[in-house]
Structures are given as C-alpha cells and as structure tokens.
Structure 1
Amino acid sequence: MTASSPTKTKKPVNHYDRFIPNRSSMNVSTAQFNLSHRGNSQEGLAQQDEASAAYQEEVAKACGLSLNKRILAFKSEPPPNEKEDLRQTYNQSFKATPTAPAHRPRRRILTTPERMLDAPGLLDDYYLNLLDWSASNLLAIGLDKAVYVWNADTGDVTTLCEMEGPEDYVASVCWTADGSYLAVGTSDGDTQIWDPETQQKLRSMTGHQARVGCLSWSNHIVSSGCHDGSIWHHDVRVAEHKVGSLAGHTSDVCGLEWRADGAVLASGGNDNLVNIWDARSHVPKFTKANHTAAVKALAW
C-alpha cells in the first residue's frame, strides 16, 4: 500500500479581454477617498501659501527691505552731491581715540652761513661753472689755474690739478654721478678727466676751439658746452672720444644738464635760449625763447 503525496490545486486565472481592465490589483477605496477630499487639500495649500507670504513680509520688515524692489535694478545715476568718494573713506587712518592734528614744526632757516671757505683767485665770470658737489661729499672748486677739493666730512683741502699754460685757467668742473671722477673744462678747449683718489689725470680730450664753460655727465658720456655755442659728446672709454655734436646756440653755452635716465639733455646759452635735446637726435626737441637773459641754472 503506497502513501499518496498531496497535490497542489492551482487557482484558476481569469483572463479578460484586452480592452477590459483588471481592477483586482487596484485599491478602489483609497482612490475614491482621495477624489472626494481633493478640495480640502487645495484649501490647505492655499493656507500654507498665505502663511509663507506673511512670514516673508515679517522678515523683510525686520531687515529693512522692500519686497517690491529688486536687489539688482537699473536706475538713473544719483545726483553728484549724493555721491560718496569711497577712496577717501578707505584711505582714512583708523585710530582708537581721536587726537588733535599734529602740527609740523616750522623749518628754521639759518640767516648766517654754516661755514665760510676762502676762495682766492675765484674768477668773476658769470658764464663759468667753478663749483660742484659730489655724491661722496666732496666739493670741487676751480680757482684761476688750479682745482681744489674740500672734504666736507673731514675739512681737509687738497690741490687736485693745476693748468700748465701761462694763460690757461679752469673754466668748469663736474663730478660723475657716483663722485668717482671729476671732469675739468679748461680755457683752451680741453676736457680733462681726473681721479681724486690718486690725484692722477686719466685723459685729456681736445677739439674745442674755445673755452669749455660747462660740463654734464651721463654714464660714460660727458657733454661739454663751448664758448662758440657748440656742444660735444665725449665717450671716455674710447680713443676717438667725440661721438656727437649739437649746434643749437649762437653764443656761449653756459648751462648743461642731463636727465637722470640719460634720455634728454637740457642746454642754456647766452643767446637766452633753452634747448631740450633727445639723446638720439641732433635737432632740438623743444626750444624756449622767452628768457630775457643768459640761461645758466638748469635742473631736472
């Protein structure tokens, strides 16, 4: 006798037509409830919107803002008197406690010289340039036939050079920018270069037909102004020292000054002219002719 195994009874599946939906898997009760209470949910959303709008108004009021204005809006420019110069505001120095404005002490200008130096033999000629102070605090003075150097730190005076000819005299002196060398212009048209440390003449550059009344340095170039109105450029590094000449004055050149960058030269003369020369040109860049006397003092 054999035991029979239990068998599973399959539940019959009802197959409907494709155009008739099968609603057995749908929760009809829940759908009906949602449809019947839709109006209540819309009212709840409206209440939430009203509460949100009221909250925004309260926040805007507390912050001092207006809900009717945009943060970034196109407006016309305010009147000039309402503008604020922010640069002055930012540049103000902030101090912990206000203090009275500091009054600068008045500068005391001496009415008497600090020191007096004897200068026997100083030629009474307006067109000569016989004094020059170096960056190393040395004062060069041309007295007739000799050049003297006074050390302002120690007070020592030394004789740098003397002219050889019986009729020669010192017409101009000029230090280099660093005070290492001194250029000396003579009455016979020479331009001499001297080393004050060794008291030796390094070279003598000739060529002018009259006295050299003014000098000016620009690096390794020394420019000389002559009594005949000519200006020469000398390169002290090469044997053929003359590297350029300028012709813009009809009388004694008594003032020369290079700009610090060496790009422009100013010249003044006894013809009452001031010429501004570009270092790359032989023609004056500017000319001032409104002076009524000789132009000697020039500075950049």
Structure 2
Amino acid sequence: MSGMAGKGYSAENTDRLKTIPLGSGNVYMIPYTEGSTMPTDAQFEQNANMVGRTKNGATFNYTQTFYTAVSDDGVAKKRRLNEETASFSWGIMTWVPKTIEKLLRTATASTAAEGDDTVAIVEGGGIGNQRAKKFWLHFVGGDDIDGKITLTGIGENIDALSIAFANSNETVLTPNFEFDPYDAEGHLYKFKMANQPNVTSEDGVPKLSALTLGSLTLDPTFDADVNEYATTTSNASNTITATAASGTDIVITVNGNSITNGTAPTWEDGDNIVSVQLASATGMNTYSITVTKS
C-alpha cells in the first residue's frame, strides 16, 4: 500500500513493524471541488470540519474483483484486477441536521422561527431533489504510544441512513462512505502513519514525533511539519512533553525560562510562549506554542 509509508519509514525500521494500530478516532469532512488537491492535515483537523463524535468505532474496507483466464487443460492461467472498491464506515453519536444534509443527496437542512424558538429542519426525499455531494473525508486515529494514523479520500455516503430512537441507547448515524479516485493515477485512499521513529525532513532538519501539553488541545492538531500552535487553559500548570528521535537534543523554554522536558511550568495570566528547540547532527528546528491562561 503506497500511501501507508510515512516519514522515516523503511523496511529496516523494526520498531515501526511492531506497531499495533489501536482505537477509534475522529472524522473530518470538507466539500470537494472538482480538480482540487488534497488538503493538509492542519486544514482538515479543525473543529468546524468534524462530523460529530465517533461511536462504535470505524472500519475501512477494500474489495477487489479479478478476471481469471484459464486454458482448458489448466496449464496456462492469467489473472487481472478489473474492479475495486474502497469504503469507510463509522458511527456518529453527536450529530445535527447539517450532518444529515452532508450524508444524503436529497436532504436539505435549514432553520425557522416558531414562536420564541428557532428550530432546525431537515427536508429530504424526492429523486428530483438530489444533488451530488462529494466530500474530502479525513479520519484521524491511532494512540499515544505508536502515534497518529490518518485515512483520507474523496467520495460520498452510499448507504441508506437508519436513525433509531430508543430509551436505552444513543441515536447513532452509521454512514458508509465510498471513495472515488482523487488523482490522475486513480488512487482511492491514502493512509498515513505519522509520528514515526526517526522523523526528519529530506534535508535532515530534526522534527518532533509528538508534542503534548497535558490534556490540552493544540490548534492546529499536532503535525511534525507544523511549527506554530496555540491553546488555552485555566489550569495553573500543564506537563510539557516533547518527543524526538534518538540523538536529538531538546531544549524547552517558557517565557524565556528553561524547563526540563516532561515537567509542568506554572502559567502566567494571559499569553505564555513555549519554545521547543531541537538540535541534531543534521540541523536545528524550533516549535512554538502560545498558551493563553484565563
């Protein structure tokens, strides 16, 4: 799978080959415009693009159909791939009418005033009302040990949508998103396993494989190629942990004062500037996080 190999991956990377992908994740969708190129992780992973919170996990499926030509005596055989399908299904627990509008060709979401209230409305059905609704879909999964895994492609929901209302269970939408080719070579999907060991750029600049500030959410979501972030907190302190390849020196400062990696500085009210400086035999790099304490 050509899209599976990420930064720093090679057949000799035995640490990577021991990885066991675990967990669920989040799904982001952006409207697709014909001819557009794949957005970056940072462009995808914005709260405004998230399609609700995932429930019951997610599943990627790839099927292939071969035509096999065989001679009458069974000696000569030739096999050719002539059909393939890639799809992605997941459960959406927190959803709104706009979610249904994205998933069904005939659905339209709107709002209206009813007395003192504003109500959300979904109207659907009618083959004549259908509109093609292609989206970029971007799934982000993985875990804290082996890092981030993403799946990206374009397409639309092809399944019927069942919405069950029950006293004892959440109401979960379960779309099935079928991928279409996203480039001239006909690729249907792209897996990327980020945060791999020994992450460096082609010119040798060292990069972080992980960056966390306790449980705070970074904006944008961490990506080794993105150097500037922001977050907010009401905590007095949060533990800063930066991870890089072996042989890389990491120096962390908060408002110009050095701290030890893996410790928690005390935040000042307002903006705090966290600088993470990397140095290796092949180069230097700096990441910056603005932490706003309220």
User: Normalized against structure 1, the TM-score is what?
Assistant: 0.20
User: Normalized against structure 2, the TM-score is what?
Assistant: 0.20
Please state which structure has a larger fraction of its residues in strand: 2
Please state which structure has a larger fraction of its residues in helix: 1
Q: Which has the larger radius of gyration?
A: 1
Q: Which has the higher contact order (CA 8 A, sep 6+)?
A: 2
